[in-house]
Amino acid sequence: MITYNLEGMKPGTAWETRLIHIIDGLIALNPDIMGFQEVAQTSAANNMAQTIADSLSTHFNVPYHVYWQSTHVAYDSYTEGIAIVTKLPVLGTGYQNLPIAVFPRKVLWNRLASDFGEIHFFTTHLAYREEDNTFRINQVNTINNYINGKMDAFPAVGTLLCGDFNCTPDSDPIAALVNYSSSWFTLHPTLSGYTFPVEVPTKKIDYIFTENSTPVTITHCSLIIYSPYDGVHYPSDHRGIQAAFEFQPTALDEEIHPITPAAYELRCYPNPFNSVAKISYDLPADANVSLTIFDLSGQKISMLASETQSSGHHEYRWNSTQQDGTPVSTGIYFVRLTAGTDTTVIKLLYLK
C-alpha cells in the first residue's frame, strides 16, 4: 500500500505532466491500496484519483475502485480533497469530518476484502500551519474515535491508517496515536524517513500506521516517486511512502481453520457472489459430513449438512441467509467442510 500527497493542481506546477509521471511510478509499484491527499477535481470527469484509477485499470486489466471526498476549494480554481484507490473488493465506505483550522479536513474509510480477511483502511490530511498544533491534536482524537467505532462495528484482521499529518514524529498529535505504530520506524528505527519538501526533505510528515492489535509483519517500507522527471521538476512536493505487510494467523483463524489434507475438493462458485453461492465437493468414500458457514468473527451462520453421506458428488446452495432465514451482511464468510477426520475451509466473499 502507499500514501502520497499529489500536490493537487497547484498553479505553475504543470500538474498534467506531474500526474503522468505519478501514474508511471504507480504502475511500476503496483500497489493494492492507495491513500491520496491533495486530490484535485475540476469536474466529475477530471478528478486526479479517478484518472489514476482509470489508468491503472487499463494497464493491469483489473478494476480499481475510487472513493473521493472534497474538503475545500483551492486557489479559487479547483476542488481539493482526499481519496482511496484500491483494486481490492470494497465492502464499505465512509468519512468523518475533522475539527476545522483554516481548511475543512476529513478522514476516509474503506472496508476491504483481502486474501487475509477484512481490512480497515483509513487516510487523512491534517491541518497544515505550524500554529495549528491544537487543531491537529483534536483532529487525531476525532480520528481515533472514528476508527474505534468502525473496528467495533466490523471485526477485521487489521487496521491501517495513512496520510499527510503535517507534523513530525516527536509532536503531540503523533503521540496521541497511542494505539498505532509507524511502519517506517518499525522497519527503519535509525533512519529519518523525511518526506517534505521533496527536493531536500527536512522533516517527516507523511506516515503509514498499523493499529497495534493488528497481527502483522511489515516486510517493506520505502520512500517512493520523488525523483525529478526531467532533472529539474518533481512529480509532487512530497515524497510518498510504500509499505508491504504480511498478516499473521489470529485465534479466529486457528479456531475455524483446523485444516488437514483433504481427499476431496471443496468448491464455491461464483466467488465473490451476490445472491446464491453453489458449494460442491466430491467424497472418495462414505463419511460423516458437516458443512457449515461461519462469519469473520467465528460465529456459526448456517449448517448446510450434518449427516452420513455416500461417496460421490454433493452440491448445496447457500442463499446468503442465516439458519433462521435472516439475510447476512456483505463481507467475508468461511465455508468449512468436515468429512471423517479431514477438514478444509475456504473463504467466500458476499457482495451485494
Name the band, by pLDDT with cuts 50, 70 and 90, for residue 94: very high
Judged against a pLDDT cut of 70, whether residue 206 lies above it is answered with yes
Name the band, by pLDDT with cuts 50, 70 and 90, for residue 164: very high
pLDDT of residue 216: 83
CA 187 to chain centre: 20
CA 33 to chain centre: 5
Fold type of domain 2-248:
Deoxyribonuclease I; Chain A (3.60.10)
Judged against a pLDDT cut of 50, whether residue 256 lies above it is answered with no
Distance CA 56, CA 54 (A): 6
Name the band, by pLDDT with cuts 50, 70 and 90, for residue 341: low
Closest-CA residue to 37 (of 67, 96, 82): 82
Distance CA 279, CA 265 (A): 11
Domain ranges for the chain: 2-248, 252-350
301-319: average pLDDT: 91
**Contact, 42 vs 11, CB < 8 A?**
no
Burial class (CB in 10 A: 0-12, 13-18, 19+), 301: middle
Distance CA 70, CA 64 (A): 19
Distance CA 10, CA 38 (A): 10
Name the band, by pLDDT with cuts 50, 70 and 90, for residue 298: low
Judged against a pLDDT cut of 70, whether residue 248 lies above it is answered with no
102-112: average pLDDT: 96
Distance CA 120, CA 93 (A): 10
pLDDT of residue 260: 38
Q: Beta strands 267-269 and 277-283: pairing type?
A: antiparallel
24-38, 62-76, 223-237, 280-294 — which is least confidently predicted? 280-294
Name the band, by pLDDT with cuts 50, 70 and 90, for residue 297: low
- The larger pLDDT score, comparing residue 195 to residue 246, is at 195
Closest-CA residue to 312 (of 339, 338, 288, 282): 282
- The larger pLDDT score, comparing residue 216 to residue 142, is at 142
- As given in the structure block, the three cell numbers for residue 309 are 453421506
Name the band, by pLDDT with cuts 50, 70 and 90, for residue 67: very high
Judged against a pLDDT cut of 90, whether residue 156 lies above it is answered with no
pLDDT of residue 296: 66
Beta-ladder partners of 87: none
pLDDT of residue 211: 94
Fold type of domain 252-350:
Immunoglobulin-like (2.60.40)
Question: Average pLDDT over the chain, rounded to whole?
Answer: 90
Judged against a pLDDT cut of 90, whether residue 336 lies above it is answered with no
The letter for the amino acid at 334 is: F
Count of CB atoms situated within 10 Å of the CB of 124? 27
- As given in the structure block, the three cell numbers for residue 187 are 522497519
Integer angstrom CA distances of residue 302 from 17, 33, 294, 335 = 54, 32, 7, 10
